[in-house]
Chain A
Amino acid sequence: MENAIEVTGMQKIFGSNPAIKNVSFHVKKGEIFGLLGPSGSGKTTTIKILTGELSQTAGKVNVLGEDSKQFGSTGFKTKIGILSDNSSLYERLTVYDNLKLFCKLYNAPLKQIDVILREVNLQEEGAKTVSKLSKGMKQRVLVAKALMHKPDLVYLDEPTSALDPGNMAHIHRGLKKLNAAGTTIFLTTHNMEEATALCDRVAFLHNGELQEVDSPNALRYKYSTHAFHVETFGGERLVIENQAENADQIRELIASGQVRAMHTDNPTLGQVFLKVTGKGLV
Chain B
Amino acid sequence: MHIQRITAIFEKDLKDFMKNMMLLTLPLIPVVLALLYTRMGEGNEAFPVFLLYIIVGTTYSAVTSSSMMTMMAEENEKKTLRGLIQSPATMMDVIIGKSLVTGLITFIALAVSLVIVDIEPFLNFRVILGLILLFLFFLLLGIGIGLFTKSIAATSVYLMPVMFLFGFTPMFEMLGLNEDSIALKVADALPIMQAIEIHHTTSWIPLGIIAVWVVGAALSMYVCFKKTMTDE
Q: Measured between alpha carbons, how far is A89 from B81 in the docked complex, in Å? A: 10
CB pair A102–B87 under 8 Å, yes or no, is yes
How many contacts A-B (CB < 8 Å)? 71
CB pair B15–A48 under 8 Å, yes or no, is no
Q: Measured between alpha carbons, how far is A106 from B2 in the docked complex, in Å? A: 11
- By beta carbon, the residue of chain B nearest A76 is B88
CB pair B12–A88 under 8 Å, yes or no, is no
A93 within 8 A of B: yes
Q: Name the B residues within 8 Å of A106 (CB-CB).
A: 87-88
Partner of B12, one of A54, A74, A84, A93: A93
| A231 → chain B closest CB, angstroms | 51
CB pair B8–A90 under 8 Å, yes or no, is no
CB pair A105–B5 under 8 Å, yes or no, is yes
- By beta carbon, the residue of chain B nearest A107 is B4
C-beta contact mask, A84-123 vs B, less than 8 Å → 1, else 0? Answer: 1011111111000100111011110000000000000000
Q: Name the A residues within 8 Å of B12 (CB-CB).
A: 90, 93, 97, 101
CB pair B229–A88 under 8 Å, yes or no, is no
CB pair B230–A55 under 8 Å, yes or no, is yes
Partner of B7, one of A86, A102, A104: A104
Q: Name the B residues within 8 Å of A97 (CB-CB).
A: 12, 15
Q: Measured between alpha carbons, how far is A55 from B19 in the docked complex, in Å? A: 38
Q: Name the A residues within 8 Å of B231 (CB-CB).
A: 48, 53-54
CB pair A77–B19 under 8 Å, yes or no, is no
**How many residues of B sit at the interface, in one of the four size bands?**
20 to 34
A41 within 8 A of B: no
| A164 → chain B closest CB, angstroms | 24
B232 within 8 A of A: yes
Partner of B82, one of A55, A87, A90, A101: A87
Q: Measured between alpha carbons, how far is A100 from B4 in the docked complex, in Å? A: 12
| B11 → chain A closest CB, angstroms | 8
Q: Which of B80, B83, B232 has the most CB of A within 10 A?
A: B83
CB pair A55–B232 under 8 Å, yes or no, is yes
C-beta contact mask, A166-210 vs B, less than 8 Å → 1, else 0? Answer: 000000000000000000000000000000000000000000000
B220 within 8 A of A: no
With A54-B232, A72-B229, A105-B87: A92-B16 Cβ-Cβ less than 8 Å: yes
Q: Measured between alpha carbons, how far is A22 from B8 in the docked complex, in Å? A: 41
CB pair A102–B83 under 8 Å, yes or no, is yes
A232 within 8 A of B: no
Partner of B79, one of A48, A87, A100: A87
Q: Which of B5, B88, B229, B230 has the most CB of A within 10 A?
A: B88
Q: Measured between alpha carbons, how far is A48 from B78 in the docked complex, in Å? A: 18
B9 within 8 A of A: yes
Q: Which of A72, A77, A101 has the most CB of B within 10 A?
A: A101
Q: Name the A residues within 8 Å of B151 (CB-CB).
A: none
Besides the known contacts A88-B83, A93-B16, A101-B9, 8 further A-B residue pairs in the complex with CB atoms under 8 A apart: A55-B230, A86-B79, A88-B79, A88-B82, A100-B8, A102-B87, A104-B4, A104-B7
What are 30 A-B interface contacts by the 8 Å CB criterion?
A: A48-B231, A52-B230, A53-B82, A53-B86, A54-B231, A54-B232, A74-B88, A78-B88, A86-B82, A87-B79, A87-B83, A88-B78, A88-B82, A89-B80, A90-B16, A92-B19, A92-B20, A93-B15, A93-B19, A97-B12, A100-B8, A101-B9, A101-B11, A101-B12, A104-B5, A105-B5, A105-B9, A105-B88, A105-B89, A107-B4
